[in-house]
Amino acid sequence: MVEIAPSILNANLLQLGEEVAKIRSADWVHFDVMDGHFVPNLTFGPMFVEALRQVTAVPIESHLMVENTAAFIPLYAQAGSKRIIIHAETGNHLHRLVQNIKELGCEAGVSLNPATPLSCLEYLLPDLDLVLLMTVNPGFGGQRLIPAMYEKIKQLRAIISERRLSCKIEVDGGVNLENAPRLVAAGVDVLVAGTLIYRDPDPAAALKRLRDGVQ
Ligand code: DX5
Ligand code: ZN
């Protein structure tokens, strides 16, 4: 079963509670944390996770696009994230950071920017609950998916199968109704979708259309 994780980045932020209520059938709420350094945009602090936790039963995954990853992991864990996803490009001690996430009781994911090779995860894959492959350069919603990422997904799926690991593959950026089936065929378990869902006048219907298109 493919999971859907709507990103609230392009939701109506003045009505976040109502916006999240529209996606109550989602598997995850995808929460994009940007610090204005690692990516050229600035978004939400941990208090938003805490606030959202009060109004939704859907588990929250925090995607940390920040330079100072080590300092932010505990804050987003304490705020109530079920899964924390960090970027391989930000940490000198990626293995230690992944262990920190697990010690805090969260699932651990590592994200790779489009240009970052899969090989950097060779010794880490058995420790991961999830790998998030960026299918756009992070920073903004509404970009086009980079076609070279299909091959990256297939290669990661082959590695995970060959090594008999349980780590899931998630993709983030430019997911739409046309490319979703191809992404799933390439090996994706979790689809993040931002503008596809929140730029639709009916986010609940958009979520259902995406789900129906990949089941
Ligand atoms: C991009 C973010 C994404 C983004 C996805 O940096 O990590 O989660 O919101 O938005 P769409 O689906 O519009 O590409
Ligand atoms: Zn994201």
| pLDDT tens sequence across 127-184 | 999 999 999 999 999 999 999 999 999 999 999 999 999 999 999 999 999 999 999 9
Q: How many CB atoms lie within 10 A of CB 155?
A: 14
Tell me, what's the pLDDT at 140?
97
Q: Indicate if ligand 1 lies below 6 Å from the C-beta of 33.
A: no
Residue whose C-alpha is closest to residue 33's, from 107, 111, 95: 111
* Ligand 2 centroid – CA 167 distance (Å): 18
Tens-place pLDDT, residues 38-57? 999 999 999 999 999 999 99
| Terminal Cα distance for the chain, rounded | 7
Tokens (6 digits) for 16: 């976040």
Which whole number is the average pLDDT over 117-133?
98
Tell me, what's the pLDDT at 25?
98
Which whole number is the average pLDDT over 77-102?
96
Residue 119 has pLDDT above 80, yes or no: yes
* Ligand 1 centroid – CA 30 distance (Å): 9
For residue 58, what are the domain limits? 3-214
Q: What is the residue-averaged pLDDT of the chain?
A: 98
**Number of structural domains found in the chain:** 1
Residue whose C-alpha is closest to residue 119's, from 146, 64, 159: 159
Give catalytic residue positions.
32, 172
Strand partners, 84: 62, 108
CATH number for the domain that contains residue 57? 3.20.20.70
Residue 92 has pLDDT above 90, yes or no: no
Residue whose C-alpha is closest to residue 30's, from 18, 20, 42: 20
